Amino acid sequence: MNRKKLIREQIEASLGRLTSLRSVSTPPKGWVRAIRNALGMTAKQLASRLGVAQQSVARIERDELSGSVTIKTMRHVAECLDCVFVCGFVPRSSLEATLRRQAQKLAAKRLAQASLTMTLEDQALSTKENEKVLSEMVDELVDTLPSNLWNES
């Protein structure tokens, strides 16, 4: 097994534990406000714990909703709320599936170009042969991960 595949499988195994998080949605007023309210903590009390002015808590809550809050700020706020801030990526399907879809696109493009030439030379492959060649090309692309795999979306 090649090194890149092993690394991909290890990451995939780690990410597998996070798949249930795909269905978690952000509370309408954001996590900071939701946790603060659930703890019965006012913005003034959180500001005191953070060592900032109360207006800063309002700004943090606004920035969280707009997506402009920094990870550093969220970590600090989480600590003051006795929480752990978690930030990461959870693949929609699997890394392997994403990789195979991209390899399929590239392989299909390459095969279409080759098929045109072969058709012009009266050497076209049958549908079954085409599918077999395409499958082999996808497998090879996934195994070798050429540098141009992601050049086109």
Please work out, in degrees rounded to the nearest 5, the angle formed at the alpha carbon of residue 80 by the alpha carbons of 60 and 55.
30
End-to-end CA distance of the chain: 27
pLDDT at 120 over 80: no
Decide: 134 and 100 in contact? Cβ < 8 Å: no
Look up the pTM and report it: 0.74
pLDDT band per the 50, 70, 90 thresholds, residue 103 = very high
Percent of the chain scoring above 90 in pLDDT: 66
Report the sign of the C-alpha dihedral through residues 101, 128, 133, 7, in that order: positive
| Average pLDDT of the residues in 131-153 | 90
Per-residue pLDDT tens digits for 15-62: 988 888 888 999 999 999 999 999 999 999 999 999 999 999 999 999
In whole angstroms, how far apart are CA 125 and each of 29, 47, 111, 137? 58, 70, 11, 15
pLDDT band per the 50, 70, 90 thresholds, residue 133 = confident
Instruction: Look at 95-109, 111-125, 131-145 and tell me which has the smallest mean pLDDT.
Output: 111-125
